[in-house]
Structure 1
Amino acid sequence: MNFPDHLKYTEEHEWVRVEDGNIAYVGITDFAQSELDELVYIEVDTVEETLDKDEAFGTVEAVKTTSELYMPVSGKILEFNAKLDESDGDDPTLVNQDPYGEGWIIKIEMTDPAELEDLMDAAAYQQLVK
């Protein structure tokens, strides 16, 4: 199981990676994708919307179940990863193969970067899922 140190984590198993200033990428953790098993569909219909922390921004559908995706921090959703989108690349298994890289789900512009302080670091998240 992989727990990159440069990410922040939520109790709902999302991660956030801050890039330039207020720009960040969000996805689900290695733990989450392994629990869900093979992903068959990812839906994000909130692009261009501004959502609050902990608000649902989409869903992931696996063979076993469907789960909601939650915002780790407040922000505007700028982009849904085209490689996961059924109208473009349509390969949701990228999340299974590379959850912290090519399998990112959304790109956001954070409206309150201070909310990052409320998230877990890699060590705390690892303790949560043990």
Structure 2
Amino acid sequence: MTETQIPEDLRYTAEHEWVRRVGPSTVRIGVTDFAQNALNEVVFVQLPEVDSEVIEGESFAEIESHKSVSDIYGPLAGVVSAINDAVDAAPELVNSDPYGEGWLLEITVADDADLDASLAAMLDADGYREVIAD
């Protein structure tokens, strides 16, 4: 078994999502290497529409594998500003490149200060390692 990748430059949730700031008020979201390993072979990803609202802590998308269907929860509140059409066409990208081509969507928040606070409250790489070690 290969070691789980946990990039140091990302923020994480206990629900196994990663968050990367890609603009002043925009973040890109995906599922972690640990999560895609647990899911095994991803066969379908259901993403919300652009301009739909994401509520922190509530399910907004689903990932389906041969083993199960898993909800994706909003790591923060905002509006979907982009979805990764490549994952829609080739859901296996979530397995092969979870931190790159396998990203899911981008969310834009109304207030940069709120985004800073939300990111600061999320887990860093060391904190996420502790979550998956349990």
CA RMSD of superposed structures (Å): 1.0
Matched, 1:64 2:67: yes
Greater per-residue helix proportion = 2
* 2:105 equivalent in structure 1: 106
* 1:24 equivalent in structure 2: 27
Query: 1 CA distance for matches of 2:62 and 2:14?
Result: 16
Residue 28 of structure 1 aligns with an amino acid whose one-letter code is V
**2:50 pairs with 41, 47, 60, which one?**
47
> Under a length normalisation based on structure 2, what TM-score does the superposition of the two structures give?
0.90
Runs of 4+ more than 2 Å apart = none
Deviation of 1:50 after TM superposition, in Å, equals 2.0
Residue 92 of structure 1 aligns with an amino acid whose one-letter code is P
* 1:95 equivalent in structure 2: 94
Deviation of 1:108 after TM superposition, in Å, equals 1.1
> Under a length normalisation based on structure 1, what TM-score does the superposition of the two structures give?
0.92
Tell me the number of residue pairs that the alignment of Structure 1 and Structure 2 aligns. Answer: 126
Identity over aligned pairs, percent: 38
Contact 2:28–2:107, Cα closer than 8 Å, also in 1: yes
Secondary structure at 1:19 match in 2: strand
Structure 1 alignment gaps of length 5 or more: none
